Structure 1
Amino acid sequence: MSAAVGYRGGIIQVFTKGFANVSSGSKVGASTPFRIGSVTKVFSAILVLQAASAGMIHLDDPVAVAVPDFSVFNPFGSGLVTWRQLLAQRSGLQREAPFGVNSTDEALWAVAKTFLLRAPGGKPSYSNLGFALAGNLVAERVVGAGHTFTSLVQAWIIEPLGLSHTGNVYGPGTPAGLAVPYQANGDPSPFYDLGWVGPAGSMYSSPSDLVSLASALMQAAKGQGPLASRIRQDIAAAFMDPDYRNPDGLTLFGWPWEMRVAGSFLLRRKGGNIPGSTALISFVPELETAVAVTWNGGQDEFTLATEAWGAFLPKFTQALAALQPSPFRPGPRYTDYVGLYSFRGLLNATVLFDKASGSLVASVQGVISIYINDASAITGWPDTFQAYLPDGLVPCLSAELQAIGDEYFFFNRGQGGPVTSMVVPGYMPGLVFRRVV
């Protein structure tokens, strides 16, 4: 197996274990390509998104607008299959391509003689046929110019992203070092040629390349990165979103993501299986991080993915929090504010630093102590603090603090830079406490 973890467009770590080829003793390396099965559907979807971004098609148009000889009998009414429905597994098409189909012309002729299993736009119904049509039709009928699915993926995705261990061309020595697929009993699995159905599951890749692909998609949703000029930002952002939510509240479907809720996050993920090989691509746009794993043997990739993210996410988010301290903490310059303040000698206030909470504490005449945290990064105003309720306070003090709400404390500096005064306009309006010590 091989796994890669990415963050903000880079690769954090690559893990490898075991053999790419047991007979030769060749071990899996960081760049070893594996067959990725249905993860190929992500590449097919990206081709459709690029064609839509270029104005060649519209996602909500019936496929027949761009491909007039596409038709299928709809026993549920007059609805027509759209490009978006193909990507979302909601076309209603049968799962597999008609037997013996070897070309797009043959597929269109055969599909025209079949009927939909579900109404277009209804509940998801997994269809390899739908993605075979999407990838082949975009390449051959929409873009044309002699393109095939393989050549268009090369030109529109692999080359722009520099995916050096990804492709769809097989032959003697191609790709070099391809991990041998193995059956559950350890015997090599025969090579499985998908032929015309290739856009649904025929490609190979490495986890690092898959992480780079996921990173480029997340960047495109922000109008950034190597795909930003190829996929419109609104389309790339919609590509991250669920298209259908299951009643269980945990699993959702996208284009063609098989999503799952993990704690506070929604994992966008796609698994792939082809005899003897398994692959998974998964990512969390909100954290700008991705995980991809490949195996040359049958695995339950989704159970493993749930376990892997369950172990990874808590520590990862803790690490991010440590790298980016809370903007509500005063930091190492708390001494700038500590001292005695007075209003005309009639009313005194002190500001101390409480090590236990890591906060400043403002006390007026010793009557009430108010915990305050640096809110400058939030408000955009320097030397601004906000009252808050720390955990573990006795009820009476909690009640006092609750009474003043989220009051602001403003510190002012003189020309030389030191803090010279403090005002609390909402708590003691009009009073300016000059710093004494």
Structure 2
Amino acid sequence: MIGSVPTEIEEKEEMITNTTEWKTVSDPKQAGLLFSQDLLHSNRDSKSLFLSVDIRQDKEEQDRTLVTFYKRDNIRWTSPLQCKLQGDVATGSGVNRHMMSTVIFKLMSGFHIKFGSAAVTKIFEGEPDHLIPSVLDELLDKNMFTVAGRMIGHSFLHNGPRFPGLSPAIIHILLGGPLETTPVTIQDCPDLDIRDAVNMLDGDAELKELDAIHQLCLSWDLPAPNVTNRKWLSEKLLLHAVIERTRRQINQFQKGLKETGLWHLLIHRRDVIPILFPRESEAEVTPQMILDCITWPSFITVIFDSYKIEDNVESDVMDVCRVSGYLKIFIENASQAKLKSLIKFWIGWEVPVTEMKVEIVEATLPTALTCFEKLRLPRHYNAYNTFHQDLCACISSSYSGFGCA
């Protein structure tokens, strides 16, 4: 909890960040960025963390590598980070961005690691904007919620993707909010049977299936339902299902966040919390967001991979206009999933940056220089359908590598 005794690392990081401007700057996004930069800079001389994933291995082995990296204890997560993709030619900061994006993507979609009977294990469960920690005991035993906290905090420090969709009730308890003011709702309960019981008790209709509800109440040390206590009992059941059953998971989650050094920011700048845990709708990428970030190619400085073009300048301009127009059409009409795949292919993760460059080049297929945030598109396309087909094929490689030549 917030009042717990800080570790030696936390005390050092708190001392370092006490005099920085992140406390007074008005924009919470800027506060988070300044805090992260200051914390990483203060640890720039620490021994680097190395994260290497072999993309030639199957998904389970890759996911195990990620989890193993974040399961290590007594690690200074603010140390310099160096990531490597074995089996891919990409190097530099783009690989770090790719890795942070992959980590958050796995937390959202699930890890290909068998805990229990499922082939894919989700650390959080429920509907969008109401995710809560899974109650699977094996995840708790394996310290997976500490892992989740480390992953989310680490990504934030390196200006990576945030973790969207977490229940406001879980965020409230996670950040030390009192139980009595927890904003829990029926949408926070992923168990449909418990939802049915809560809805039945909360309504005015005749109580049915009392035996099942009674057994549920007994298992959670609550009294049997009756006409007098039904509404009170519905609230207690919901609170227990969402909060009380996940207390240990939340404590682990909190521990992982603290270990990244992020806790000091969160307790002093509560306005940063919605940035760390945005609503899913707020985390969406719109076509206009991407278009506003693009630096389009100059007609004069068209760059080609193999040689300097000496053909008619008008022809060059037409190629640039045509292919750039195809990209604009693609962005304006792509699904949310394809937009995020495009950005990840382009810069290494799904968060648009202020200058996403486009070049029209002599090449066979689209490629990306993620370290330079640059997308290279072949000039030979004369039909949008062909452009669309090739670009979709290339960006689909972003979760296994960069597709770079």
TM-score (ref. length: structure 1): 0.25
Structure showing greater radius of gyration is 1
**Highest RCO, 1 vs 2 (Cα 8 Å, sep ≥ 6):** 2
Per residue, is there more helix in 1 or in 2?
Answer: 2
TM-score (norm 2): 0.26
